[in-house]
Structure 1
Amino acid sequence: MIHLPASLLTDRDALTAREWILGNGLGAYASGTVSGIATRRYHGLLVAALSPPRGRQVLISHLDETITLRYLRAPLSSHAFPGVVQPEGWRHLVTFALDPLPRWQWRVGEAVLERTVFMVRGQNTTVVRYTLVDSPGAIALTVRPFGAFRDFHHHAQQNRDARIAAVAVNDRPGTVLIQPYEGGPAVLMQAPGVFHPSPDWWRGFQHEAERARGLDSQEDLFTPGEYVIALAPGESAHVVLTAEHRLPDDVAVLEAREIARLRALVPQGVSDPRVEQLYRAVDLYRADLARPPAVLAGYPWFEDWGRDTLIAFTGLYLVPKRYTEAKELLAAFAKYVDQGMLPNRFPDSGGGAADDNTVDAPMWFLHAARRFVQYSGDLDFARRTLVPAMRAIVEAFRRGTRYNIHQRPDGLIWAGDPGTQLTWMDARCADTVFTPRHGCPVEINALWYAGLRSLAWLCATTGDEGSAERWHREADHVRESFRERFWNARLGYLYDVVRDDYRDPAVRPNALYAVALPGDLLPLEQCEAVLRRARDELLVPMAVRTLSPSDPAYQGRYDGGPWSRDSAYHQGTAWPFLLGAYTAAVVRVGRRRGTPEAEAEARAEAGRCFDGLAAALTSYGLGHLPEIVEGDAPHRPVGCFAQAWSDAEALRGLVEDVEGAGPEDDL
């Protein structure tokens, strides 16, 4: 449970900086700020996934709410326009909690009104429940919907084509149909009150987060009218918004079912409230009800990305023991393997081919496949599906495949050319590549080595000892070349990229994977040296920097327009998901030292890395970790307010690295 303290409830900026979000298992969502002020184009009460998990559109932006008690009339909503916030309903807020659904309470005079929001599982449907908790008499609650009906990456503007009047649905009392564009999506809205038509446009809503990102930041929204709902003390009223063809039945039962589902996500016996919250947090990204299933990389704007999915896989699926869904996801990815490549990004529009410009997604598939079998013990699935897909990836990389990806004679993997960005450090603006890493990147070759060991282990586990020996010999060759080519004795660290006669000495976090992954790629003393430098130069509270501050290219702030932000993205900006690689490396080194005391101290050190977790879960995306934080103190959270691999790696790190739970991962 997250309960904002009273001291924050009188601070408009603090309330507006904290964002809440709900999902429905299809990729749709409802999201906004605690104050109610929309700061992003992505905020919306009903953001439907029309081609799950893609095709997302902001259909209903928000509901404008006003309470009338006798002769007292007060707004509960808050909106930003250029230079002004009006009205200021946030001033009436007395409680906000996430338990597990977002819940607001406002006090107007002697009346206390509560609002709870939830999404119906598997439907593009949002339900808002209002309960008059306390009052000396009945109130009138006015609820006015505001529609956008546009792609979630864009803004709406007033136009003559929109038919903004609602149409009454005669056979469903209190129900209207909102469909501004012929052939476009429609929303059914139902409330236990009288609908009063008053179609109009409201112009110039200001989205401050968009302005700060150097993007267009104003939007026009239309309203078809308003409901007036009478509420007596103790009564509740549900307002339903759905892009489905019919309204859901018995929304009170559906609300209770969703609360029970969210609470059941936490395994019995979990006593750490941070871990409880993370078990619920990772549920947001799993679009398990989409076909094929998918993972949304981050909210509010990321699509389903192959690389992000597979890095987050253990924390999203295996730690929560969702083996059936994990199996479906891996089976889907196995079908996507083409010339050893896997999709990097699926366009949100649902059209066009998926991008496969990633060298690391196939590598992370090898890792995910091994961990799935270690957790689930499903050898039949390994034999029928995983091993053939893994062989296809490895053989294609050895032969050579797209984007100049190939295995060199020394066994190392080369990827790309000066114009391509194939690793996770892929920021570019127009034709400018900010972190050129073509050649042999360090983490790619650490993953390649671990992937070969993984394939050998799975071959042996499924009875193919001959193939296992072959892949172990191949891995031995890679390890010998890796140690020779990547170790920077002067720095006591690993080169970030090697190619021909060039070796990049930049101190980046990618070296951590050579320590964190199984198989003892480096001698113990080199692992210890990598950890020391990473601890001293890269580790910040709840994240790891992408570049050492001692590097002339370091950028400690992440702000401004697209060019400014992209240039800093991997040049010092810190990423929470990398903390998982760090804690895994700490524990692996502790275990390699060979004593119970060394392992216990390593797990304790890993635990201290999460000391700032409770605060991080309540300062930006409520209940979630952000995509990135600034490299310079105070390490302001920026980017997406909820990121799949950030939440997933925190959960995995706490459970596997700190608690020591889960199957062993030694190869």
Structure 2
Amino acid sequence: MSYLNFDKTLLINLEKSLSKEMIRTNRAGTYNSTTLIDCNTRKYHGQLVMPIPEINNSNHVLLSSLDETVIQHGAEFNLGIHKFEGNNFSPNGHKYIRQFDCEIVSRTIYRVGGVILSKERMLVSFEPRILIKYTLLEAHSATLLRFKPLLAFRGVNELTHENSVADTSFTEVQDGISMRLYEKYPYLHMQFSKKVTYNHQPYWYKNIEYYKEQERGYEYKEDLLVPGYFELPIKKGESIIFSAGVSEVSPRKLKSLWEEELLRRNPRTDMFACLKNSAEQFYKREGDKTYLLAGYPWYGARARDQFIALPGCTLTVNRMDYFDAIMQTAIPEIERFIGGERTGFKLEAIDDPDVLLWFIWTVQQFAEIVSLSEAVNRYEKLVTNIIQFIRKHNHPNLFLHSNGLLYVNGTEKPATWMNAMENGYPITPRTGYVVEINALWHNALKFAAQLTREKGNDHAADLLDYQGEITREAFTNTFWNGTYLYDYVNGSYNDWEVRPNMIWAVALPFSPLNKQQQKSVLDITTKELLTPKGLRTLSPKSGSYRPNYVGGQLERDRNYHNGPVWPYTFGAFARAYLKIYKQSGKSFLERMLVGFEAEMTELCVGSLPELFDGNPPFKGHGGMSFAMSVAEILRVLDLLEKYEKE
């Protein structure tokens, strides 16, 4: 039995099966996502969802669903399922499912009487094309398959409804048809690997509901166009492949295309293998540029997320090729930014105050994993330029004060990763000296000194070390309250809230704290913030604690960083814990990882979400597959393996 395997008992239980989703990407922005039983519960779900830059920067759902029907002796058994008003589901095809697994590719096994049918799905790498392979494993009489496509042709943030503008005409292509509902869209080519009969009977499937959108307070009903249906016979042991893409394909090549793509896949045999596969889903190639997406289904390439997640999503899984490609895309944008440009960046929020410091941290991880000398060759000049850029007060919201600390203004625009907004203003207005920004600044100065000394410039390295020592002393004088660290300090105001941000002051390679202070910070973090899914964003002892990420947009924004758990914070916690307890801390962290392994079969199968509720049962929320979460747990797994070898 495969690592990710679900049986009939779970799959026919809609309360359980509808909460489990899957997502696969083509590493160029296109994705395929739905629930385990192929019932879409989000407007972001679809069999073929892709970026169309000619329209806008959003993704677009072209093929929402493909409903299959097994026909024997004139009796029809519809395998599809959709939700309608009143919690009604139709046609209830999930009752025929016997098994779902995704060790290599996602595979569903249906049983209808004496018919056993296998369905496997795969996206073609770097091409907007979904392949679905059907294999008739068992049948005692002649079997006919009918396929009914449900078309959307709309942005992922929109919903479509019956209208007279949609073009319901079609063009015949080899073993299939081509359609385009609206002029601005490309044509969708739906083809099969063998001769097929198409019956054109366009009508609207009305009032399909997406309950995930209803939970989030958004519009949740949609009409989808069914242009008609395809029919073809299938024999026992035979496989047929359905293709949907924005270009025509030769049906004769679909089998070889499937086999070629299958060879690219790696099995998901344990948690590390699952997360490695998930990490590679975030790669996005655009022409000669490559980015790391922040997550699916709705995030783009965000600068902070990219640099935090980059080491785990590339170096930890031995994908130096993608590390290089993503850095080669990012560096020109950074050079433009420190050169004075302020608009036109593909990397979102590149001007956030901590982004350049996280970039230096990424280089530092490269130096640890690859080599310090190679980091000098590739990145030393840019790192020192960034340090000079900050020291010269050229950053629009990063001000170096005479005490050696960096000051940021977070009253009107969020200055940190705690960036939720209400009425145009930050909900958590972290302003002044922010703890993790200044921990990163001290770390950046000391690492820049290390790079410069390795290059042979001892005088410049001494100056950077001296600056780092000034910052270290000011850091402890400003943030240390005798037990832990203030979250931020602004003039005479000290923010006493216990938040996870202080853990980076312990976890970073160069800590501004002494060992006793590090242990004290770790102790209160463990006591008040640690959960089986990572660190809470706020201590339950706080009067502002709001642990559940539920309700409408405003309520969720208010809760976003005031109690829910962000799993990526566990990466810093694990490093801090091993720094203090060394080998004796390994078994504790291994036990904590059990909570993350349990998530391999939950919200997004084989991946980790953006956040969890702060209280049991720690339900997952937000982006179903989130790069920082995946990256940092991968790094923890890798770190523990290295400790094991030592």
Q: Same-fold call, TM > 0.5? A: yes
Describe the SS at the equivalent of 1:132.
strand
What is the CA distance between 1:297 and its match in structure 2?
0.8
- SS for the counterpart of 1:660 is helix
| Residue matched to 1:431 | 424
Q: Hey, what does 2:448 align to over in structure 1?
A: 455
Q: In structure 1, which of residues 625, 644, 664 is the aligned counterpart of residue 608 of structure 2?
A: 625
* Deviation (angstroms), 1:342: 11
What residue number does 1:237 align with? 240
Q: 1:76 aligns with which of 76, 79, 82?
A: 79
Change (3 A) 1:530 1:238: same
Letter in 2 for 1:655: D
Q: 1:227 to 1:245 in 2, by over 3 A?
A: closer
1:420 paired with 2:413, answer yes
CA apart distance, 1:57: 1.0
Tell whether 2:385 aligns with 1:392. yes
Tell me, yes or no, if the aligned pair for 2:65 and 2:150 is still in contact at 8 Å. yes
- Tell me how far 1:420 sits from its aligned partner: 1.4
Query: Displacement, 1:305?
Result: 0.9
How has the CA–CA distance of structure 1 residues 318 and 346 changed in structure 2, closer, same or farther, with 3 Å as cutoff?
farther
Helix, strand or coil at the partner of 2:22 = strand
CA contact (8 A) 1:339 1:392 kept: no
Tell me the distance in 2 between the aligned counterparts of 1:130 and 1:181: 30
Q: Give the 5 Å matches for 1:191-270.
A: 191=192, 192=194, 193-244=196-247, 246=249, 250-263=253-266
CA contact (8 A) 2:23 2:33 kept: yes
Corresponding residue SS for 1:80 = strand
Report deviation, 1:610: 0.2
Residue 290 of structure 1 deviates from its aligned partner by: 4.9
Aligned-partner Cα distance in 2 for 1:436–1:631 = 21
* Corresponding residue for residue 8 of structure 1: 10
Structure 1 match to 2:520: 529
Q: Does 1:443 align with 2:436?
A: yes
The Cα shift of 1:248 comes to 7.8
Asked if structure 2 preserves the Cα contact closer than 8 Å seen for 1:345 and 1:354, the reply is: no
Shift of 1:180: 1.3
Q: For the residues of structure 2 that align with 1:66 and 1:58, how far apart are their CA atoms?
A: 23
- Looking at structure 1, the residues matched to 629 and 188 of structure 2 have their Cα atoms a distance apart, in angstroms, of 34
User: 332-341 or 434-443: which moved more?
Assistant: 332-341
Give how far 1:344 is off.
Answer: 12
226-235 or 245-254: which moved more?
Answer: 245-254
Aligned-partner SS, 2:574: helix
- Please give the alpha-carbon distance, in whole angstroms, between the structure 1 residues aligned to 2:628 and 2:257: 29
Give yes or no for the alignment of 1:603 onto 2:586. Answer: yes
Asked if the contact 2:29–2:285 (Cα under 8 Å) also holds between the matched residues in 1, the reply is no
Which residue identity is paired with 2:504?
A: Y
After superposition, the Cα gap between the structure-2 partners of 1:36 and 1:342, relative to the gap in structure 1 and judged at 3 Å, is farther
Aligned pairs (5 A) from 1:147-158: 147-158=151-162
In the other structure, the counterpart of 1:111 is: 115
Alpha-carbon spacing, 1:382–1:259, altered in 2? closer, same or farther (3 Å): farther
Task: Please state how far the C-alpha of 1:184 moved relative to its aligned partner.
Answer: 2.0
Native 8 Å contact 1:148 1:222 kept in 2: yes
Change beyond 3 A, Cα 1:532–1:417: closer
Aligned AA (2:370) = S
Counterpart residue type for residue 277 of structure 1: C
1:190-239 per-residue CA deviation (whole Å, 9 max, x = no partner) reads 02311111112212110100000011111111121111021111111100
Query: Alpha-carbon deviation of 1:520?
Result: 3.1
Mapping for residues 331-342 of structure 1, pairs under 5 Å:
331-337=328-334, 338-340=336-338
Is residue 2:642 matched to residue 1:645?
Answer: no
C-alpha distance in structure 1 between counterparts of 2:467 and 2:498, whole Å: 28
Superposed counterparts of 1:35-50, under 5 Å = 35-50=37-52
Deviations along 1:88-121, whole A, 9 cap, x unmatched?
0001110000112110011101101110000000
Q: Matched residues in 2 for 1:430 and 1:473: separation?
A: 43
- Residue 346 of structure 1, CA deviation: 9.1
Q: Say if 2:311 and 2:323, in contact at 8 Å, map to a contact too.
A: no
Deviations along 1:585-630, whole A, 9 cap, x unmatched?
101122xxxxxxxx21122222222012221110110000111100
The answer to whether residue 311 in structure 2 is matched with residue 314 in structure 1 is: yes
AA at the equivalent of 1:81: F
How far apart in 2 are the matches of 1:329 and 1:587?
30
- CA–CA separation in structure 2 for the residues paired with 1:442 and 1:344: 26
Alpha-carbon displacement from aligned partner over 1:158-193 (angstroms, at most 9, x marks no partner): 222210222112xx2x12111111242211110231
Q: Which runs of 5+ in 1 are unaligned?
A: 267-271, 591-598
1:28 is aligned to 30
Structure 2 vs 1, CA of residues 343 and 324 (structure 1 numbering), >3 Å: closer, same or farther? farther
Q: After superposition, what is the alpha-carbon deviation per residue over 1:424-471, rounded to whole angstroms, capped at 9, x for unaligned?
A: 000013324211101111011111111112211222223333322221
Determine which of 584, 596, 611 is the counterpart of 2:575.
584
**Alignment partners' CA distance in 1, 2:393 and 2:251:** 52
1:79 positional shift? 0.3
User: Which residue in the other structure is 1:176 paired with?
Assistant: 177
Using a 3 Å threshold, how does the CA distance of structure 1 residues 130 and 339 change in structure 2: closer, same or farther? closer
CA contact (8 A) 1:146 1:222 kept: yes
What percent identity do the matched residue pairs reach?
Answer: 28
Supply the distance in 2 between the matched residues of 1:228 and 1:160 (Cα, whole angstroms). 27
TM-score (norm 1): 0.92
Match of 2:366 among 348, 372, 376: 372
Amino acid across the alignment from 1:23: T
Partner of 1:593: none
Partners of 1:235 and 1:187 lie apart in 2 by 26
Kindly provide the amino acid, as one letter, of the partner of residue 439 in structure 2: A
Write the distance in 1 (CA, Å) between the matches of 2:207 and 2:501: 44
Contact 1:369 1:386 (C-alpha < 8 Å) held by counterparts:
yes
| CA positional deviation for 1:546 | 0.0
Alignment: residue pair count: 639
How far residue 404 of structure 1 moved from its aligned partner, in angstroms, is: 3.0
C-alpha spacing 1:495/1:658, structure 2 compared with 1 (3 Å): farther
Paired with 1:246 and 1:343, the residues of 2 have a C-alpha distance of 43
